[in-house]
């Protein structure tokens, strides 16, 4: 790991060597991987990067804490599309909007970036078994990435996890422990089991390498924008590891001289579960909240990475925006109808927050904004149908079709006549 200096506690500043099975500091604080940016700047540049044919997160190896000899895990993670979203932008009244569809990763969420990193580090540690607890996506992505690399997984999910995600776990051959309790209960049980059996730990708030994987999402966004820095990057927040990773990626690029300024973050949480945003809004320490939202991936009442997440929002002079479940369902329809992008509820929550921030006047219509869609809608078809409704049901006859159209006030479009 040519450019890694070590790991440093975000709470007390204690430093550790970057061994593969690193967890938290003795004080309980979360560690942060440190790099030699002067050396990265010396050896590596945007121009050099442009010549790299690797279309995956591993194209950013100089910024990643893996040994040169560690093979990239088999599934192709990263390099998801960044779409210029003009139709959605026009509808929201925003001049330049981009949508980064991270639901197009191999197991259909941004979590693949962290899980691929977990698999790489588990191999370095010589582990053959990995475990985690998750609201769903960290679990399914770990199960998939581990299966492809021939590692076993023990996965703890709350029993409320959507069926699509649980089906992924079973298909990928994980041992699934569905916990009859909250996400907090699930997390605590996984922690005890990992302690007992010594599995490699893929809990993002404990293993500091995972946010290094997640940060590749912002490395990519900036490269895809030709290193033109957007004004804002919006994303949904649960435990806070994703936003912390996104911010780390941006700071890396800034420190290595790839970009000359930093965007502001828009942290979006659900009104019914927004402990981190509430801390930003009130200026008080965060307090646990109920997990009261249909956006299961961000229904996190006790966030596991509050320090890094709050620091990311504050350091970026970011916005903290809360949205209702209705606004989340509306964003699902909006993204689908205007851009052909189908996100799960937490996947579109960032976009719902952009709309809300414009309505509240927190965001100027002249801003350049990137909204990250963090997970695919097919994982949670129940809420997809809830957002968009059931289709009309017709008997297979033209008469039935005509009366169904009449009933639904649909005037079929005629084909455009040619001149
Ligand atoms: C995990 C997840 C998030 C939030 O990430 P945190 O690290 O928990 O803040 C957002 N959207 C989706 C789809 C997720 O799976
Ligand atoms: Zn410490």
- Show the domain range for 182: 80-419
Has residue 12 been placed in a domain? no
Q: What is the pLDDT of residue 419?
A: 59
Query: What is the C-alpha to C-alpha distance for residues 38 and 166, in angstroms, rounded to an integer?
Result: 44
Is residue 379 a part of any domain in this protein?
yes
DSSP β-bridge partners for residue 130: 153, 200
By alpha-carbon position, which residue is closest to atom 1 of ligand 1?
Answer: 297
Q: How many whole angstroms from 110 Cα to the centroid of ligand 1?
A: 8
Is pLDDT of 197 > 70? yes
* Residue range 308-354, pLDDT digits in tens: 999 999 999 999 999 999 999 999 999 999 999 999 999 999 999 99
6 within domain boundaries: no
In a domain, 352, yes or no: yes
What local confidence, expressed as pLDDT, does residue 417 receive?
66
pTM, two decimal places: 0.96
pLDDT tens string 291-301: 999 999 999 99
44-to-57, 78, 257 alpha-carbon distances in Å = 16, 20, 10
61, part of any domain: no
In-domain check, residue 178: yes
pLDDT at residue 47, rounded to an integer = 96
Looking up residue 196, the CATH number of its domain turns out to be 3.40.50.1100
Give distance in angstroms: CA of 374 to centre of ligand 1.
7
Query: What's the distance, Cα to Cα, between the start and end of the chain in Å?
Result: 65
Q: Give tens-digit pLDDT for 46-84.
A: 999 999 999 999 999 999 999 999 999 999 999 999 999
**Residue 212 forms part of a structural domain:** yes
Count up the domains in the chain and report the number: 1
Structural domain contains residue 385:
yes
Q: What is the pLDDT of residue 162?
A: 86
CA-237 nearest atom, ligand 1: 9
Local structure of 62: helix, strand or coil: helix
Q: How far apart are CA 25 and CA 114, in angstroms?
A: 20
In this structure, the number of other CB atoms found within 10 A of the CB of residue 67 comes to 14
SS3 152: strand
Contact 110, 102 (CB under 8 A): yes
Contact 372, 250 (CB under 8 A): no
Report the chain's mean pLDDT, rounded to a whole number: 95
Question: pLDDT at position 375, please?
Answer: 98
Predicted confidence at residue 310, as pLDDT, reads 97
pLDDT in tens, 366-397: 999 999 999 999 999 999 999 999 999 999 99
Extended strands (E) in 206-293:
232-236, 264-270
Query: Which residues form the pocket of ligand 1, taking CB atoms under 6 Å from any ligand atom?
Result: 109, 111, 137, 204, 236-243, 297-298, 300, 344, 346-347, 374-375
């Amino acid at each position: 790991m040519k450019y890694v200096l070590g790991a440093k506690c975000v709470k007390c500043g204690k430093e550790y060597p970057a061994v593969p099975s690193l967890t938290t500091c003795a004080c309980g604080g979360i560690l942060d991987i440190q790099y030699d940016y002067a050396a990265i700047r010396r050896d590596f540049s945007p121009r050099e990067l442009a010549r790299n044919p690797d279309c995956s997160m591993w194209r950013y190896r100089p910024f990643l804490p893996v040994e040169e000899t560690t093979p990239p895990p088999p599934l192709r993670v990263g390099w998801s599309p960044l779409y210029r979203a003009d139709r959605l932008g026009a509808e929201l009244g925003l001049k330049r909007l981009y949508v980064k569809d991270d639901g197009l990763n191999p197991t259909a969420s941004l979590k693949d970036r962290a899980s691929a990193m977990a698999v790489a580090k588990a191999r370095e540690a010589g582990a053959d078994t990995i475990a985690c607890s998750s609201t769903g996506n960290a679990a399914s992505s770990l199960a998939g990435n581990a299966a492809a690399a021939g590692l076993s997984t023990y996965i703890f999910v709350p029993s409320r996890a959507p069926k699509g995600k649980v089906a992924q776990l079973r298909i990928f051959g994980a041992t699934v422990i569905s916990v009859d309790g909250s996400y907090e209960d699930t997390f605590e049980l996984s922690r005890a089991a990992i302690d007992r059996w010594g599995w490699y730990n893929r809990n993002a708030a404990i293993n500091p390498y995972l946010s290094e994987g997640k940060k590749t999402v912002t490395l990519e966004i900036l490269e895809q924008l030709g290193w033109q820095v957007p004004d804002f990057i919006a994303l949904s927040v649960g435990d806070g590891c994703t936003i912390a990773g996104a911010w780390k990626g941006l700071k890396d690029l800034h420190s290595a001289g790839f970009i000359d300024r930093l965007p502001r973050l828009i942290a979006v949480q659900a009104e019914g579960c927004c402990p981190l945003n509430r801390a930003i809004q009130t200026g008080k320490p965060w307090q646990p909240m109920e997990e009261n939202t249909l956006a299961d991936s961000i229904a996190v009442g006790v966030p596991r990475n509050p320090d890094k997440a709050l620091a990311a929002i504050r350091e970026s002079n970011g916005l903290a925006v809360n949205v209702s479940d209705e606004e989340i369902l509306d964003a699902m329809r909006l993204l689908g109808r205007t851009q052909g992008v189908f996100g799960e509820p937490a996947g579109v929550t960032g976009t719902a927050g952009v709309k809300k921030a414009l309505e509240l006047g927190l965001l100027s219509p002249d801003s350049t904004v990137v909204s990250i869609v963090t997970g695919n809608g097919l994982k949670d078809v129940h809420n997809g149908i809830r957002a968009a409704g059931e289709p009309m049901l017709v008997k297979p006859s033209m008469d039935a079709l005509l009366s169904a159209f009449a009933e639904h006030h649909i005037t079929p479009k005629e084909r455009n006549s040619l001149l």
